[in-house]
Amino acid sequence: MLPNFSYGDAIGDDTLALQKYFKAQGHTSDIYSGVIHPYLLNKAYYWQKYRYVSSKDNILVYHFSVGSEINEYLLDIPDRIILIFHNITPPYWFFGVNPHLVEAVADGVKQLVMLKDRVEVAWADSSFNAEILRDFGYQNVRELPIIIDFSKLNIEASKIFARQYESPLKTWLFTGRLSPNKCQEDIIKAFAVYKKYVNPQSRLILAGEARNNSSYVGALSSLINELKIPDVVLTGLVSDSELVALYRMADVFVCMSEHEGFCVPLLEAMHFDVPIIAYAASAIPGTLDGAGILITDKNPLLIAEIAGLLDRDLSFRKNILNGQRRRLDAYRKIDFQSRISQLLEELRQ
């Protein structure tokens, strides 16, 4: 069960992947959600229908990421509950941007505290998230990395989309919803320096939906106009085949996000052999685990120079990509089936 079952979303993908593993182990597994994306309507039920199957014999796996009426519903059912914690963005990121989200995440923090004595065990999808749970008083915390289904990226790129964005320009890319905590404005500022002083033949593509954050998107557009930067593209939500097209045309992946529970796009960029420049915040250092280029200073001059070095110094670029390949290989070697079996076996004891 999860509040929002969204298309192209890391939590939604993790939910589907876990369902696949549960079924492979012989369990019956259905998905329930408060909001279901139209593309996923045949894969889930609305959560209210769970009332008809709720039972003390069920194990309910609940993906926590935001405030929801579902969180309070969980307090009054007999089911055994596993909470999977994907983190929750602090409300201050949405002050002045989205009052509804401020309320939703603030409620979520309160509800996370309420649930700590109700859930049987909490699974965190990163060590960063595990520490947050412990800070909130959770005692029985285990780690299960988020599951990434790379097969959805091993598909043919959208030819129409690829032709639309085909260009000889060097391409900076970031994928992820347009949201204040992801700090796309810092990417724009760094790109402005890069385009002016390092490589005028370049462009920036920011791919991701802008749902619920229209004022932030407006601020980004104003910044682009203020800096007089051409060749900045906001694509909106993209399909899997369009995402593949973007990764294949990218020359560098730049992430300046300051709050991530895991940050799946970093591993997606590794999958496509795109060098990464990322700001060292929240779960990002743990997700990179020594790979990519991790920075602690968002100085646009620094970021632009690093991107330029990746362009000019092929040996440097090769070393970065080799490090990313090692990290990706280590992730691919995680035996999720065994890890899930182990975590479920703990519930029998």
- Residue by residue, what is the 3-state secondary structure of 145-160? CCCCCHHHHCCCCCHH
DSSP structure string for 66-116: S--HHHHHGGG--SEEEEEE-----GGGGTTT-HHHHHHHHHHHHHHHHHT
> What is the model's pLDDT at position 56?
96
Domain boundaries, the chain: 2-145+334-346, 153-332
Query: How far is the C-alpha of 94 from the C-alpha of 296, rounded, in Å?
Result: 23
> What is the model's pLDDT at position 341?
94
> What is the model's pLDDT at position 212?
74
DSSP state of 79: S
Contacts of 63 (CB under 8 A, 6+ apart): 1, 2, 3, 11, 14, 15, 84, 86
Burial category of 345 from C-beta neighbours within 10 Å (exposed 0-12, middle 13-18, buried 19 and up): exposed
Cβ–Cβ < 8 Å for 29, 19: yes
Q: pTM for the whole thing?
A: 0.95
Cβ–Cβ < 8 Å for 207, 127: no
Structure-block tokens of residue 284: 């990002």
The secondary structure element, H or E, covering residue 84 is: strand 80-85
| Domain 2-145+334-346 and domain 153-332 have a common topology | yes
> What is the model's pLDDT at position 113?
96
Tokens 């895991």 correspond to 262
DSSP three-state, residue 196: helix
Query: How far is the C-alpha of 83 from the C-alpha of 122, rounded, in Å?
Result: 5
CATH number for the domain running over 153-332: 3.40.50.2000
> What is the model's pLDDT at position 9?
87
DSSP state of 2: E
DSSP structure string for 264-280: HHHHHHHHTT--EEEE-
> What is the model's pLDDT at position 211?
75
Other C-beta atoms lying within 10 Å of the C-beta of residue 34:
17
Which parts of the chain register pLDDT below 70?
none
Query: How far is the C-alpha of 137 from the C-alpha of 145, rounded, in Å?
Result: 21
26, 63, 123, 178, 184 from 286: Cα distances, Å? 33, 21, 17, 23, 21
Other C-beta atoms lying within 10 Å of the C-beta of residue 93:
19
**Fold exhibited by the domain 2-145+334-346:** Rossmann fold (3.40.50)
